[in-house]
C-alpha cells in the first residue's frame, strides 16, 4: 500500500510540476484545444454523414465530372458550353471572381488615392466634392450601388444604335465591344521582349534608388523606363514582321460579332465595387498622410521642393507604412463583396458552383465547401502578399 501511495504521489508531483511550468502548461493547453477542435469536427462530420444517409444522399464530389447543362454568358478565358462539366463551370466562376477582384483592386486603389489626396486639398470646391463622394458612397450599402450602376448600364442604347468610337469600340446595353488582338506565330518573341524590358526597368529603378540615397541626384527614371519598354517592345514587334491582327466588332443582325464583349454585368459590378471600396481607401489615405509630421513638409519646402514632389518623395513613402495594413482589409472586403454578383447575373463562383450547380445536383454541402474553401484560399493569398509588402516597406530598426 505504501508503494502504491508513493507512486501516486510521484505522478501527482510530476503533473503538478508540468502544470506549474509556464512553457509546459502552454503546450498542454494547446494540445487539449486542438484535440477538442478535432473532436467537435468529427462529431459534426459524423452527424452530416448520418443525416445525408437518412435522406438517401451520399457525401461525394463525383458530380463535378457530370455535364453542367447550363450556359455562362461571360467566359473570357475558357471555351465553355452547356455540355461542359460542373468542374469546368466552377473554374469559369473562379476565373470570373479573380478577374473582378483584380480589376476592382486596381481601380479602387487609383480612385481611393486620388480622392484621399483631394480631401486634403486647399481648394474648397475640390475638398467638398471629395468629401461628399466619400460620405455618400460609404454610407449606402454596396448592393444598392451595384443595382444602381447596373440599372444605368442596361439603359444604354441597343446594338443598332450603339455609341460608336472610331468604328472600333461600341458601347451598348449588351456590353462594351472592343477589338480583339490575334497574335501570329512569332508573337511569343514580342512577349518575351516585353518581359525583359520590365526586368531592365526594375533593375534600373533599383540602381536609381541607391544612387539617390548616395548622391541625392534624381534621374528622370519614369520617362527612361517608358522609353525602354516602348522601344524594346516595338522594335521586337517590327523585327518579327508585326505578328498581330485585330478582330474588329461588326454589327450582324441584332448584335455585334467579332472582337471582345465586355458584359454589362461585369462593368456594373466592377465600377460599383471599385468606387465603393475607394471611398474607404480615400479615408485611409487621408489619415495616413495626416499622420506624417508637418515638419516633413516644412523641411521639404525649405529645400525648395514643390508640393507635388514633396508628396511624391517624402509624404507618401512615409504614409504608406500606415496605409498598407488597413488597405489589405479593404482588398479582402472587395474580393468577398464580389459574391453579390449573383444579384445582377454576373456568373462568378457563387452563381455557378454555389448557385446553379447546387440546385441541379442537390449537393448543398459539397458545393458550399468548395465555395468557402476557395474564398478562404483567395483571402489568405491576398493577406500573405500584403503582409509581405508591409514588411518590405516597414522601417528597419538598427
pLDDT of residue 107: 92
Q: What is the dihedral of CA 213, 218, 220, 225, to 10 degrees?
A: 0
CA 316/CA 325 separation, integer angstroms: 15
pLDDT of residue 13: 65
pLDDT of residue 276: 92
Contact present, 352 and 92 (Cβ < 8 Å):
yes
Cell of 12: 501527482
Secondary structure E strands in 226-377: 244-247, 250-252, 255-257, 260-262
**Rounded alpha-carbon distances, angstroms, from residue 39 to 36, 46, 60, 266, 361:** 5, 11, 22, 44, 30
pLDDT of residue 152: 84
pLDDT in tens, the chain (398 residues): 555 455 555 556 666 776 677 777 788 888 888 999 999 988 888 887 777 777 777 777 788 888 888 888 777 777 888 888 888 888 888 898 999 999 999 999 999 988 988 888 888 888 888 889 889 988 889 889 888 888 888 887 777 777 777 777 778 877 777 777 777 777 777 778 888 888 888 888 888 777 777 776 777 777 788 887 888 778 777 777 777 777 777 777 777 777 777 788 888 899 999 999 999 999 998 888 887 777 776 777 777 777 777 777 777 777 788 888 888 899 999 999 988 888 888 888 888 888 888 888 878 888 888 889 999 999 999 998 888 888 877 655 54
Q: What are phi and psi of 67, to 5 degrees?
A: -65, 135
CA 251/CA 157 separation, integer angstroms: 14
CA 97/CA 390 separation, integer angstroms: 25
CA 33/CA 41 separation, integer angstroms: 12
Nearest to 263 by CA among 351, 332, 195, 323: 351
pLDDT of residue 1: 52
Q: Cβ neighbours of residue 183 under 8 Å, at least 6 residues apart?
A: 190, 243, 244
Amino acid at each position: 500500500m505504501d508503494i502504491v501511495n508513493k507512486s501516486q504521489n510521484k505522478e501527482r508531483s510530476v503533473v503538478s510540476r508540468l502544470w506549474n511550468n509556464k512553457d509546459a502548461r502552454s503546450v498542454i493547453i494547446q494540445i487539449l484545444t486542438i484535440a477538442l477542435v478535432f473532436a467537435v469536427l468529427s462529431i459534426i462530420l459524423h452527424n452530416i454523414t448520418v443525416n445525408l444517409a437518412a435522406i438517401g444522399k451520399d457525401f461525394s464530389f463525383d458530380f463535378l465530372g457530370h455535364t453542367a447543362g447550363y450556359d455562362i454568358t461571360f467566359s473570357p478565358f475558357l471555351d465553355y458550353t452547356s455540355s461542359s462539366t460542373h468542374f469546368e463551370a466552377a473554374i469559369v466562376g473562379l476565373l470570373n471572381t479573380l478577374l473582378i477582384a483584380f480589376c476592382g483592386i486596381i481601380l479602387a486603389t487609383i480612385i481611393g488615392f486620388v480622392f484621399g489626396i483631394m480631401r486634403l486639398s486647399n481648394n474648397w470646391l475640390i475638398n467638398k466634392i471629395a468629401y461628399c463622394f466619400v460620405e455618400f458612397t460609404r454610407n449606402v450599402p454596396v448592393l444598392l450601388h451595384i443595382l444602381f450602376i447596373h440599372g444605368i448600364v442596361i439603359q444604354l442604347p441597343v446594338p443598332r444604335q450603339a455609341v460608336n468610337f472610331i468604328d472600333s469600340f461600341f458601347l451598348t446595353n449588351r456590353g462594351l465591344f472592343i477589338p480583339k488582338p490575334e497574335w501570329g506565330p512569332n508573337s511569343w518573341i514580342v512577349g518575351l521582349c516585353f518581359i525583359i524590358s520590365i526586368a531592365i526597368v526594375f533593375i534600373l529603378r533599383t540602381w536609381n534608388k541607391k544612387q539617390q540615397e548616395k548622391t541625392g541626384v534624381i534621374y528622370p527614371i519614369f520617362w527612361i523606363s517608358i522609353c525602354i519598354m516602348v522601344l524594346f517592345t516595338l522594335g521586337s514587334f517590327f523585327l518579327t514582321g508585326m505578328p498581330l491582327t485585330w478582330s474588329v466588332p461588326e454589327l450582324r443582325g441584332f448584335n455585334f460579332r467579332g472582337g471582345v464583349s465586355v458584359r454589362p454585368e461585369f462593368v456594373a459590378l466592377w465600377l460599383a465595387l471599385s468606387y465603393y471600396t475607394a471611398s474607404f481607401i480615400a479615408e485611409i489615405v487621408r489619415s495616413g498622410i495626416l499622420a506624417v509630421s508637418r515638419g516633413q513638409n516644412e523641411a521639404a519646402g525649405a529645400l525648395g521642393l514643390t508640393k507635388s514632389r514633396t508628396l511624391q518623395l517624402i509624404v507618401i513613402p512615409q504614409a504608406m507604412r500606415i496605409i498598407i495594413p488597413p488597405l489589405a482589409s479593404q482588398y479582402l472586403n472587395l474580393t468577398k463583396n464580389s459574391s453579390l454578383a449573383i444579384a445582377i447575373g454576373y456568373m462568378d463562383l457563387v452563381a455557378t458552383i454555389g448557385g446553379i450547380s447546387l440546385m441541379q445536383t442537390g449537393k448543398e454541402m459539397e458545393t458550399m465547401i468548395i465555395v468557402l474553401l476557395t474564398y478562404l484560399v483567395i483571402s489568405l493569398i491576398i493577406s500573405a502578399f500584403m503582409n509581405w509588402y508591409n514588411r518590405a516597406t516597414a522601417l528597419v530598426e538598427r
